[in-house]
Structure 1
Amino acid sequence: MRQKIRRGLAALLLGALTFMPIMTETADAADIPGEAQPGRGDRLVGANFAGRSEIIARNGAAATSQPLATQIAISILMKGGSAVDAAIAANAALGLMEPTGSGMGGDLFALIWDPAQKKVLGLNASGRAPAGQSLKALTRRLGPGKPIPSHGSLSVTVPGAVDGWFELHARFGKLPMAEVLAPAIAYARDGFPLSPFIARGWANNFRRFDQLSDIIEEGENARKTFLIDGKPPVAGQIFRNPDLANTLSLLAAGGRDAYYKGQIARTIDAYMKRIGGPLRYEDFASHKSQWVEPVSTGYRGYDVWQIPPNGQGLATLQMLNILEGYDLKSMGHNSADFIHVSVEAKKLAFADRSRWYADPDFVKLPIATLVSKDYAATRRALIDMGRAGTPETGIMPESHDTIFLSTADKDGLMVALIQSNYRGMGSGLVPDGLGFMLQDRGEQFALDPAHPNVYAPGKRPFHTIIPGFVTRDNQPFAAYGVMGGAMQPQGHVQVLVNMIDFGMNVQEAGDAARWQHEGSAEPTGEKGDGAGTIYLEQGVAPAVADALRQRGHKVEVKPGLHYGSYEAIVRDHANGVYRAGTEMRVDGHAAGY
């Protein structure tokens, strides 16, 4: 009997040990297997937590959030198209295949490595508030003390994505736009099978629309466009959108003016007038994307690039500047020290985010100060390694539904492109017969006249979506992104630290267990929630969660939370190849040729 008990205890102990993360002093990627997962087999190469191997190809690569869109991008590259052609083709297809995170009614940002100039270029293709609606008129419509609604016409800003396509194509396109858009048009007419994660989001969006029907002025067009027999399509079901095929065909034939000065803009104008919305034809006719100078900071020999505000990319740079003062590798990946200092850096960066990030055309922003190493040093001094901090907002709402994609071609052109309608599918409003939903990005304006991000006619709202790019020694290293509202800067930092500090490859860097902090103040004027809450994936050891709680953090291990979705392409100069990885948590796919 005693022998049986001893054998039983030994078995229990062995079982418990298999669920403990194995760490070494060097903490290389191969030494961080993560937690054992019941029912999962063991990998034969690389880190055991990785969902798949990285994709390695010589001539070109693509990584998107939907497998068919990745195939389209690769097909465009194989026809002689550029990485920009491939990115536009994939984005157009995602507007059909993943309308839960993208579409022609939304905005776009891109970072491009131009091998001819040997530099990173930035495009801000985000839209502006209606020129004919003042802050006073908006607040009067809302009523005393009411915020901008999450859905309906008052949250709609000019969609900038299509203009972004044509701006990118004018500088870097090789194939005619009609050929670039042809795959998306064909799939819209003939249909495609829905993928699992997107199907779940599709159903969730329509549940939300039903709940918010009192603020969405018109919903029948959305139901006719996106439901089949009155129900959201399910995974594997064939979905068609002939209206979207016709709209894309107008672009293929008439270019960007078909959208902003032609039939599409006039249709939206008439629709808005019919439902009482403020957006007008003149807002479309005057819209223009903006080429911007990306902002960068150095991190352990790498240069990390972001689009300047009205986006939140500066938060990534601010977090990295703070973390550069710590030996993260010696702390150990996803250790209590590592997560604690990362979260504290996030809180400090997000305090500035809530205070300063806004459209620089309307307010002077201290960008150089915010990303300086001296400023990071003063912020770093506020971190107590033994206690959770609660920084206030005055020291120098959102959605996780976005698409990001990376493409790269044989000539060395690399693209990081992000696109979104903001809250999932967007505002709930589908203009008559166009096949796409208008974004609700205007919800992210503040209404306090003293705030830099306050609503104003013709102003761009604060944006969560950010592409990322990394160079080293003036050569491209990575085009990457992590989708997911306020998770995006946090995710950017985690995947970069995984690669740079912990030696993970491009796929492992995204597959490693993540943390997410929520509760910081928002650029909309919403106050913070004290120290906030740290959410952890199950791959973070229970002992780490306990240690964080002892430092005063509120911690929840929360499977199923959206910890961001990731795509990236890394340039391997030594071997003359691209290495690509994509999100294993959802429907993502990477490929090359």
Structure 2
Amino acid sequence: MPGVATGFLIDQDEKDTFTAHYPLPAGITEPMDPREIVYKMLGGCLALLQHICRVHEKPVKSYDGTTLQNTHRDLLTDKSAILSCSDLIEYGFSLPENPFSPFLGRRSAVYSVAGMIACSQPLAASAGQAILAKGGNAAPGSTGIGGDMFCLFYESKTGKVRGLNGSGRSPMNLTLDIARRNLEISPGQSGNIPLNSVLAVTTPGAAAGWVDTLGWFGSGKLSLAEVLEPAVSLAEDGFPVSEISARLWQENEQSLREASSNFRELLKPDTRAKDGVRAPLAGEIMTNPSLARTFRTLATQGKDGFYRGAVADAIVKAVEDRGGLLSHADLVYHVHMGTAETDPVRVQFNGNVDVWEHPPNGQGLVALMALKLLEELERTEQLASFASLRHNSADYIHALIEIFRIAFADGTWWIGDPTFSKTPELLSEAYIAERARHFSPTQASDTMTHGSPAFNSCDTVYFAVVDKDGNAASVVNSNYHGFGTGIIPRGCGFTLQSRGANFTLVPGHPNVLAPGKRPYHTIIPAIATNPDDGSLHTVFGIMGGFMQPQGHVQLLINMLVFGMDAQKALDAPRVCIGPMGHFGSASVYDRTVYIEEGVDMLVVEELRRRGHVVRMMHGWDREVFGRGQVIRAVHGEGGQTVLEGGSDFRADGMALPA
């Protein structure tokens, strides 16, 4: 097998620095060329050297795999790739017992027979665990009350999957002409609403969604106040901020300051900081008494406590002060006409699971279309069976990239509010076959234009919960893009979402802005069931904008095709195509492909040879790949079901047994 190596050009001082961190292995004695020492300290292992190359995006060189001595000689004379010992130390290479694992996580899957919760925040997981212990079921609550939420609920008694759309609408007084004029968009230009614009504020749907989730799907054993009490306590008494949350908070501190005069409500008091406040650091205690009051009002008054009264007044004033048009009438309308029960969309994949996604205005159709395209390519032998491909090989990743481009070209054009425009039959066998013909196994597509199918007649948080009775909830809650617009209603302790940025401002587009309309939504929960008896198979989801359908597909393939458990499926390096320009365009123009560290650099080189514009993502930049949670039902001996949980190492969370 060909190997990959990098050269080490170091001096004696660097060797001394390196050996101060890492003791010399047995069998290596002085004096010796310092380059040879470093190489032998790495075990002479080309796999580890290959991993180092990935981290630094250094040029790599393949060898014919002769003897170690020949490889070593080439390594000492090769000047094409240079890496110093200080680089190794900076990146924290501790030479673990198994440094060559294909996955970057170090967690094992979690197992339970009495329920489980998996989410991106440990304290939230603990709160969910307590709710289940009190007799609550899988219908949960969440934070992010200024945003939207979607839920898929699996009822174990009937095997039925039900959907809840908790997304809000655009203001009734916001027309396309007003938006284009306020944003100074010239005639003939497509344009879009900026993420930080007050025009991006839509009615927050989460509060009503939580109330209705509990009312429609809850066990009836716990009140709304009891469900919200853990969140109230954390906001009022304080909670230690986890590492990744702290970093995201720090990244968004300046935007919070610029977006709202009430920024102090979401920052930590510190007399040494600018304006006496700053973003919290990891491990510091953060309180939010204003949010605690908002939760209490919702708990005691229900929807009226949020969409009428003091909270509603603060929302409307915050928007009006910035020239926005969200009104009391918009909020009151959502009390009665906001949350909608939906029929999830289903496709069968790999012959053994039914995959359920939320229908439009959510982007679940993109994930389902990608799965069907994959099977069509296998059926027509345009692509070898995925099971025969090496995981994250060039052929594998190339196929993912191209099917995602096709699916997004259709999804970002056709998906919108179904009450304003009919969604065409994107999943029909005939249409999938027609779209699959755009796939080339050897060449990256340049642009991808949406098709014309026939019409029918008719910084986001994800968590998964399964209770002791086998009911399951798959829930996504989001303000969109971190803190949303960053606009904070005074005394309320939350920001307003920027979901309206997903509207297009192109007349005639299915997702064009209109009064009282729901925008294209990126947040999509998912559930998989067994087609033979309707039993639960998997509850899963990945938060992260346009990564979500791409993550769903990769998770399913990891588990169903490559046999990974829930945790390994989340840990595996991911691929993500760029945001494809914007909804105002008929074609996909952004051809950037983001590849996570851990993918073979030889694979990356081959993808570039096929015409892909590849950007390697390392460290914190990997947040582009989203953060997911998985709970899988494994049916064991005696008919007993064992739950297997995984939680993304790219987030702070965990999977906890009930």
Match of 2:610 in 1: 551
Q: Percent identity?
A: 39
Q: CA deviation at 1:13?
A: 8.9
1:245-295 CA-to-partner distances (Å, cap 9, x unmatched) read 111111111112211233322332233334432001110111111111001
Q: CA deviation at 1:133?
A: 2.1
Q: From 528, 541, 565, give the equivalent of 1:505.
A: 565
- Structure 2 residue 263 is matched with structure 1 residue 222: yes
The letter for the 2-side match of 1:585 is R
1:470-522 CA-to-partner distances (Å, cap 9, x unmatched) read 11121111110111111111111111100000000000000011111115243
- Structure 1 stretch displaced more, 256-265 or 231-240: 256-265
Q: From 570, 573, 583, give the equivalent of 2:648.
A: 583
1:161-216 CA-to-partner distances (Å, cap 9, x unmatched) read 11111111112223111111111111111100111101111111122345xx3xx4
CA contact (8 A) 1:354 1:525 kept: no
1:385-443 CA-to-partner distances (Å, cap 9, x unmatched) read 111112433323xxxx1110001101111010001101211112111111111111111
In 1, Cα distance between equivalents of 2:512 and 2:246 = 35
- Structure 2 residue 636 is matched with structure 1 residue 571: no
Match of 2:494 in 1: 436
Match of 1:464 in 2: 522
In 2, Cα distance between equivalents of 1:132 and 1:7 = 72
CA contact (8 A) 1:427 1:439 kept: yes
Match of 1:420 in 2: 478
Q: CA deviation at 1:9?
A: 12
CA contact (8 A) 1:348 1:391 kept: no
Match of 1:317 in 2: 368
CA contact (8 A) 2:357 2:527 kept: yes
Q: From 152, 165, 188, give the equivalent of 2:235.
A: 188
Which secondary structure state, in structure 1, belongs to the residue aligned with residue 448 of structure 2?
coil
The letter for the 1-side match of 2:199 is L
Match of 1:237 in 2: 284
The letter for the 2-side match of 1:53 is S
Would the alpha carbon gap of residues 207 and 524 (structure 1) be closer, same or farther in structure 2, given more than 3 Å must change? farther
- Structure 2 residue 185 is matched with structure 1 residue 144: yes
- Structure 2 residue 409 is matched with structure 1 residue 374: no
- Structure 2 residue 451 is matched with structure 1 residue 395: yes
Does 1 or 2 have the higher relative contact order (CA < 8 Å, sep 6+)?
1
CA contact (8 A) 2:150 2:165 kept: yes
For structure 1, which runs of at least 5 residues remain unmatched after alignment?
22-35, 96-102
Q: From 541, 549, 558, give the equivalent of 1:489.
A: 549
- Structure 2 residue 319 is matched with structure 1 residue 257: no
Match of 1:158 in 2: 203
In 2, Cα distance between equivalents of 1:278 and 1:468 = 34
TM-score, normalization by structure 1: 0.88
In 1, Cα distance between equivalents of 2:168 and 2:108 = 38
The letter for the 1-side match of 2:561 is D
CA contact (8 A) 2:102 2:598 kept: no
Q: From 45, 50, 55, give the equivalent of 1:15.
A: 45
Which secondary structure state, in structure 2, belongs to the residue aligned with residue 122 of structure 1?
strand
CA contact (8 A) 2:626 2:650 kept: no
- Structure 2 residue 576 is matched with structure 1 residue 516: yes
1:242-321 pair list within 5 angstroms = 242-287=289-334, 288-300=338-350, 301-321=352-372
In 1, Cα distance between equivalents of 2:596 and 2:470 = 36
- Structure 2 residue 128 is matched with structure 1 residue 67: no
Q: CA deviation at 1:113?
A: 0.4
The letter for the 2-side match of 1:576 is T
Q: Which has the larger radius of gyration?
A: 2
In 1, Cα distance between equivalents of 2:97 and 2:654 = 21
1:328-407 pair list within 5 angstroms = 328-366=386-424, 369-396=425-452, 401-407=459-465
Match of 2:535 in 1: 475
Match of 1:31 in 2: none
Would the alpha carbon gap of residues 136 and 542 (structure 1) be closer, same or farther in structure 2, given more than 3 Å must change? same
Would the alpha carbon gap of residues 10 and 142 (structure 1) be closer, same or farther in structure 2, given more than 3 Å must change? closer
Would the alpha carbon gap of residues 269 and 558 (structure 1) be closer, same or farther in structure 2, given more than 3 Å must change? closer
**Number of corresponding residues:** 549
The letter for the 2-side match of 1:407 is V
In 2, Cα distance between equivalents of 1:346 and 1:57 = 34
1:339-388 CA-to-partner distances (Å, cap 9, x unmatched) read 0011110111011022211111100111xx31123322222222111111
In 2, Cα distance between equivalents of 1:478 and 1:247 = 34
In 2, Cα distance between equivalents of 1:39 and 1:48 = 16
What value does the CA root-mean-square deviation take over the aligned residues?
2.4
Which secondary structure state, in structure 2, belongs to the residue aligned with residue 310 of structure 1?
coil
Match of 1:39 in 2: 94
In 2, Cα distance between equivalents of 1:264 and 1:519 = 35
CA contact (8 A) 1:519 1:529 kept: no
1:286-315 CA-to-partner distances (Å, cap 9, x unmatched) read 111111100111111211111111111111
The letter for the 2-side match of 1:195 is S
The letter for the 1-side match of 2:652 is D
In 2, Cα distance between equivalents of 1:344 and 1:272 = 41
Which secondary structure state, in structure 2, belongs to the residue aligned with residue 416 of structure 1?
strand
The letter for the 1-side match of 2:348 is G
The letter for the 2-side match of 1:561 is R
In 2, Cα distance between equivalents of 1:462 and 1:51 = 36
Match of 2:588 in 1: 528
Would the alpha carbon gap of residues 402 and 313 (structure 1) be closer, same or farther in structure 2, given more than 3 Å must change? same
Would the alpha carbon gap of residues 519 and 526 (structure 1) be closer, same or farther in structure 2, given more than 3 Å must change? farther
Match of 2:217 in 1: 172
Would the alpha carbon gap of residues 250 and 395 (structure 1) be closer, same or farther in structure 2, given more than 3 Å must change? same
In 1, Cα distance between equivalents of 2:465 and 2:111 = 13
1:137-174 CA-to-partner distances (Å, cap 9, x unmatched) read 22222223353222142110000011111111112223
CA contact (8 A) 1:506 1:568 kept: yes
Match of 2:597 in 1: 538
For structure 2, which runs of at least 5 residues remain unmatched after alignment?
1-31, 52-90, 270-275, 453-458
- Structure 1 stretch displaced more, 379-388 or 134-143: 134-143
The letter for the 1-side match of 2:398 is H
